[in-house]
């Protein structure tokens, strides 16, 4: 599930849309089983799916956070490289007497 949550985190969709397939398991299971099953069994199943969804949301949020950190760090590195080039160019221009 960790890999799936990481994949969903990099896609440009809302958290609710990203994790919707987990909640769809409830409907899929009911459609597959039909009217069979007892209320306690379905309640336990629903509770387990909800627990899985909460764990998935935690993993999703962690992955989004890491993604934003990586993007921020890349931007900072890019700014650092740009500033270094500008400083080098200024120093070279000063050395040329301009």
User: Does residue 87 lie in a domain region?
Assistant: no
For the chain, what is the domain count? Answer: 1
| Domain that includes residue 60, residue range | 1-71
Specify whether the CB–CB gap between 60 and 9 falls below 8 A. yes
Instruction: Provide the residue-wise pLDDT of the chain in tens; the chain has 98 residues.
Output: 889 988 898 888 899 999 999 999 999 999 998 868 788 999 999 999 999 999 999 999 999 999 999 988 888 887 778 778 888 888 888 876 55
User: Does residue 45 lie in a domain region?
Assistant: yes
Specify whether the CB–CB gap between 60 and 19 falls below 8 A. yes
User: Does residue 21 lie in a domain region?
Assistant: yes
Does the pTM surpass 0.95? The reply is no
Specify whether the CB–CB gap between 57 and 34 falls below 8 A. no
């Amino acid at each position: 599930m960790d890999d799936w949550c990481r994949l969903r985190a990099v896609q440009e969709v809302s958290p609710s849309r990203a994790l919707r397939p987990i909640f769809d398991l409830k409907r899929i299971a009911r459609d597959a089983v039909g009217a069979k099953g007892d209320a306690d069994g379905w309640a336990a199943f629903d509770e387990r799916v909800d627990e899985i969804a909460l764990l998935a949301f935690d993993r999703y949020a962690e992955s989004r956070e890491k993604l934003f950190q990586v993007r921020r760090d890349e931007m900072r590195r890019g700014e650092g490289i740009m500033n270094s080039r500008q400083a080098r160019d200024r120093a070279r221009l000063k050395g040329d007497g301009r």
